[in-house]
Structure 1
């Protein structure tokens, strides 16, 4: 016994039109095809779906129940079309963006929305590893991360370049230094990020290259937690230079062993293409021209 979408649509069309001919006209198929759908379903389930009176087909109570289902199915189809179309239009479209750091991604989002104010933006945040996986799983449409390796699966565009700096409390003696070394930092309580953080990868590389294996005083799972720990005088943390727009309390101190700049890129899956994504990548090009001015404000 087979209940197909075509049969349910045929029943609903006949009920609305009062005849096989009107149902066929509404569905833009042949009258025999519509009649066959109805009669086969009646025969297979041993039911009566229509009563004929004065040449008009009237739905039975059972048929009306099926028509209610048909209407819900039609609404579900319309909603599916709306969801799909929102990802490929600049008018009331929707874009999901993954960010590893608040900045410079948020600055880019702000510029993009000035150009396209009707687009709905959803932002997902997480570690470098989490956001990369979200792109691969198609949970986000596009992401902004530093130090993204070359990968043929991704469409990439450079946003800016930045390095990692130490962040210290203003009462710390380090706040008065023009720059510090990894050796000098070994004397401080260090606040590290957990595995999967792009910041921590850079910090680990720098200390290893300098010949040190530091044991952190604290290991925290988010950038904001590290920032707050430094604000409360718990130690020295590390941050991408443009990793946050906050300018309160904390001092950024360059680390001579961490001067290498890494590309901060916008990337999406290479096989994804839409009007929205193309518009976002166009905004990246415009942002990059003024990135230094925007990020140092």
Structure 2
């Protein structure tokens, strides 16, 4: 069995791309392709379904990846042990997050403490963040309303609250908190139903029998803010996502539990690795990120 071929396969399975796997291994993309092709030909298997942009594991590939991920995870731990006495000067860590507003202050502290560390950041929804962690394409995840899982180590990072976003000339934009009941029958522009902020808002409305008039469902917080600024309807966003915009006012909503908890997550078996541990330590020290839990 050729370990170079297995390692190339493992990198492609984690990255979902031959190009990104080559960067991960610091070798050429043709070399990665050659190793994987040789492995497939030697054992008469098809391990990936190749498309123009990605490489998806076949069922046989999934079965092999379930073995190679812990195998090369142990190699990574051995290397980490051997480097334990060296300063954390260089390295690269992949981070996945479902919101830039929670993760960016953490990455700024990482940059200040360890300027030689390179960060790869991928942004998506919570499901995509979990998938990146479990496939080991990311070492650290920052997730809203994180679900507890046995294979994951999790630490609470921050708490945010749902806010209403209104044009500055709106009757409710006085600066005083808005009771949730005041939004009954109001014209509103909201995120898609799978959004965590949207789910929190919908749950609170159902609990109190409040029925907003949803005019638009939008796929980004930026679109919600733009629609609210244009006067189309009242928007709903997280208190950590409002930013500075002279056209709008973000107003807290009271009268229900409208809070969301944000957590930093990694695979439990990898939490002791130096670089992952360094990020976890930074997450719970120094200046708070948003509102502390």
- TM-score normalised by the shorter chain: which range applies? 0.5 to 0.7
Structure 1 residue aligned with 2:160, among 158, 162, 169?
A: 162
2:144 alignment partner in structure 1? 146
Q: Could you list the per-position Cα deviations for residues 77-125 of structure 1 after superposition, in whole angstroms to 9, with x for gaps in the alignment?
A: xxxx9xx87x957332111212222212111111111001111111111
Q: Could you list the per-position Cα deviations for residues 19-59 of structure 1 after superposition, in whole angstroms to 9, with x for gaps in the alignment?
A: xxxxxxxxxxxxxxxxxxxxxxxxxxxxxxxxxxxxxxxxx
Q: Is the 8 A contact 1:163 1:260 kept in 2?
A: yes
Q: Is the 8 A contact 1:155 1:270 kept in 2?
A: yes
1:207 alignment partner in structure 2? 205
1:191 alignment partner in structure 2? 189
Alpha-carbon offset, residue 213 of structure 1: 3.8
Q: Could you list the per-position Cα deviations for residues 100-158 of structure 1 after superposition, in whole angstroms to 9, with x for gaps in the alignment?
A: 22212111111111001111111111222322232223222211122112222221112
Structure 2 residue aligned with 1:126, among 124, 127, 143?
A: 124
Change (3 A) 1:240 1:270: same
Q: Is the 8 A contact 2:158 2:291 kept in 1?
A: no
Matched, 1:137 2:135: yes
Structure 2 residue aligned with 1:94, among 92, 95, 99?
A: 92
Distance in structure 2 (CA, Å) of the matches to 1:246 and 1:132: 30
Gap regions ≥5 residues in structure 1? 7-71
Matched, 1:291 2:284: no
2:173 aligns to what SS in structure 1? helix
Change (3 A) 1:237 1:255: same
Tell me how large the CA RMSD over aligned residues is.
3.1
Q: Which has the higher strand share?
A: 2
Distance in structure 1 (CA, Å) of the matches to 2:139 and 2:253: 34
Q: Is the 8 A contact 2:184 2:211 kept in 1?
A: no
Gap regions ≥5 residues in structure 2? 4-30, 36-71
In our comparison, the structure showing a higher alpha carbon Rg is: 1
The TM-score, its normalising length taken from structure 2, stands at 0.65
Q: Is the 8 A contact 1:104 1:244 kept in 2?
A: no
Aligned length: 218
2:235 alignment partner in structure 1? 237
Distance in structure 2 (CA, Å) of the matches to 1:162 and 1:121: 25
2:202 aligns to what SS in structure 1? helix
Q: Is the 8 A contact 1:129 1:197 kept in 2?
A: no
Q: Could you list the per-position Cα deviations for residues 242-270 of structure 1 after superposition, in whole angstroms to 9, with x for gaps in the alignment?
A: 13544543311111134443321111121
1:228 alignment partner in structure 2? 226
